[in-house]
A and B are shown apart, each in its own frame.
Chain A
């Protein structure tokens, strides 16, 4: 019996038939898949096949909370969303802050599963155990800021959480994101396009029910001690005061920052223009927090000179649409970030795609004739802003760029060496040449290239996992155990993404053991850190099997982008390239995945024996049928 953390209830909404129903799950299911991305993986794996068009009615979109959303604790203002990615054709997943997680839980549901496709624009209104599909015709075409305001008014509750798409999602930009109350963004993998394909403008969620907690006194005691420690951790103060823009200047120095489509070694003056302290002073920054967070790393711009309707850019954005394009015009970066937020476009993917386009322009592979006269010159803030508009509207060359890097390379095959992606998704702003621990995250994340699935850079920076045997930091340029760490940190981050909580707390001195203690107080379980890792491993393994079922050939897809195999000549990572094949081999061995294919014994060990029958035949195809 579920004692806390869950209602054991999933809301199923079929937009084709307009049928709304409820499903249930038991304690065994909860302890095996936990919530968030874990729960979503289980559900999506059952229904989505290789022939499912990610932008067709057959795709299944899941919004899922974890047990943490049942408790009013710091970092619990999070939620996960998942579906087959329209960008990669593989597993798609995004995790974000905002109100939807706690509101959905308080509304009486652990997750919402959306299938089918509505014939007209609709939104889903979920409120205290009830759900309703409502007409959104008047809202279609509105940007995320306007739509959010209109939806709060429509439901008559300013506290309702709105997760919606703007024109990027409606126009099926394959890397459209979902905006949560103009604050957090389900960024990666094109989850906003999946909403758009279903004619679903938004989820509006409000709840006033009290989710069950197994041992409230224990939770209070455990949480108080952990929170006290977290508040004293140096990272907490830095993250609160400077946010993530604080990392730009030091990462230019240590080589982690992408510059000029990952090809440039130095950018000292540029980094100083877009990073802190200038970022904070010039934009007159105020901190902005996800619900109940003690840090508040999001940034609110208060300088009226830079009028924005949403939050300021974060590290990834500054890296991908700033330094990676050599745009040191802070106003342009702020403007493009705001456009991405209101149009709902993933800034990481946009930065990767535009860097490719700028390089094509430099090499004469794209000319002004292709761009409606826009000069895609390195450093041009004007080009950045104009191209953001074009992508969102799929106007001119924006129509191609909206398809993602793989489609771009299909059009211009000679550009392949500088399309910096893995599995079709652009790399995030953490160069694995600067921290070898990022190798697995860059090339073997189940959701395509990524900076957070695994994030074993954390180990190199001293955020360790002593509970499961990772007790010392290994030098960033030493390949020793980087495949092993890549595997373990991937398991652990997927455990966290299933709880569902914010990874930044790991850097604030909150350990895996602490997280497990909180989980046990909420649920009444006796999970150990080793079991926690196993839960994460199970989820990663299921996602790998999902990808294999979609036709992935790991040896072809888990490959370091060519650009990242060329060492920098100068700068903080000069001369360094991770031996990625050896790291990948060690990663697969750690996982017991021969060449990326989980062994039968591993599936059985993880309680996934039934997946064995569905395992891939490894045929590459994107022959979608619906």
Chain B
């Protein structure tokens, strides 16, 4: 299945663009998507913490809803889903 991923702010540079389509196996979840996306140590370091978990500080939305409303990083994905990934942004 294919899902669309939108990157915000500094992650655009890290992932080489604002949007990308990603091919995933059926039944894949957010964690699988992040594993697939982070194919270099530089990307992994931006998204995962030292223990291998996605960083709490990164905000992830599925179809514009926070993944916390579903099943967190275990949230299942389906064909055509749009996932937004936002790094920490500071501004006042």
Contact = CB atoms under 8 A, between A and B. Distances in A.
Contacts of A460: 56-57
A570 interface: yes
Contacts of A315: 91-92
Interface stretch (A242-250, A392-400, A548-556): A242-250
Interface string B66-92: 101100000000000000101011111
Contacts of B68: 475, 477, 576
B55 A253 contact: no
25 contacts: A234-B10, A239-B90, A239-B91, A246-B9, A247-B89, A247-B91, A249-B8, A250-B9, A253-B59, A253-B61, A254-B66, A254-B86, A428-B92, A458-B90, A461-B57, A462-B56, A462-B88, A472-B56, A474-B56, A475-B56, A475-B68, A571-B65, A573-B66, A574-B69, A576-B69
Contacts of B8: 249-250, 253
Interface of A: 234-235, 238-239, 244, 246-247, 249-251, 253-255, 266, 314-316, 428, 451-452, 455, 458, 460-463, 472-477, 503-504, 507, 570-576
A463 B92 CA distance: 14
A268 to B, nearest CB: 8
A253 B86 contact: yes
Given A250-B8, A475-B56, 16 more contacts: A244-B91, A246-B9, A247-B89, A250-B9, A253-B59, A253-B84, A254-B66, A315-B92, A460-B57, A473-B56, A475-B68, A504-B90, A571-B65, A572-B65, A572-B84, A576-B68
Contacts of A576: 66, 68-69
Nearest to B59: A254
Q: Please indicate which of the listed interface residues B55, B69, B91 has the most CB atoms of chain A within 10 Å of its own CB.
A: B91
Given A249-B8, A250-B86, A460-B57, A572 B92 contact: no
B55 A255 contact: no
Going nearest first, the 7 A-B pairs with the smallest beta carbon separation are A461-B88, A244-B91, A462-B57, A247-B91, A507-B90, A315-B91, A250-B8
Nearest to A253: B84
B69 A575 contact: yes
Contacts of B89: 246-247, 250-251, 461
Category for how many chain B residues contact A? 20 to 34
A220 to B, nearest CB: 28
A576 B68 CA distance: 10
Interface string B35-79: 000000000000000000001110101001110110000000000
Contacts of B59: 253-254, 476, 572
Contacts of B65: 570-572, 574
A315 B90 CA distance: 10
B90 A235 contact: yes
A584 B34 CA distance: 36
Contact of A316 (B64, B86, B92): B92
A9 to B, nearest CB: 32
Given A254-B61, A476-B59, A452 B86 contact: no
B51 to A, nearest CB: 11
Contacts of B92: 244, 314-316, 428, 451-452, 455, 503-504
A385 to B, nearest CB: 24
A247 B90 CA distance: 7
Contacts of A477: 66, 68
A462 B61 CA distance: 18
Interface string B4-33: 000011100000000000000000000000
Contacts of A253: 8, 59, 61, 64, 84, 86
A458 B66 CA distance: 19
Nearest to B66: A572
A266 B64 CA distance: 9
Contacts of A238: 9-10
A239 B69 CA distance: 31
A299 to B, nearest CB: 12
A571 B62 CA distance: 10
A573 B59 CA distance: 10
Given A315-B91, A451-B92, A462 B55 contact: yes
Q: Please indicate which of the listed interface residues B59, B64, B84 has the most CB atoms of chain A within 10 Å of its own CB.
A: B59
A511 to B, nearest CB: 15
Contacts of B66: 254-255, 477, 572-574, 576
Contacts of A503: 92
A190 to B, nearest CB: 19
A261 B8 CA distance: 25
Contacts of B55: 462, 473
B42 to A, nearest CB: 12
Q: Please indicate which of the listed interface residues B10, B64, B84 has the most CB atoms of chain A within 10 Å of its own CB.
A: B64
A37 B25 CA distance: 57
A503 to B, nearest CB: 7
A244 B91 CA distance: 5
B56 to A, nearest CB: 4
B67 to A, nearest CB: 10
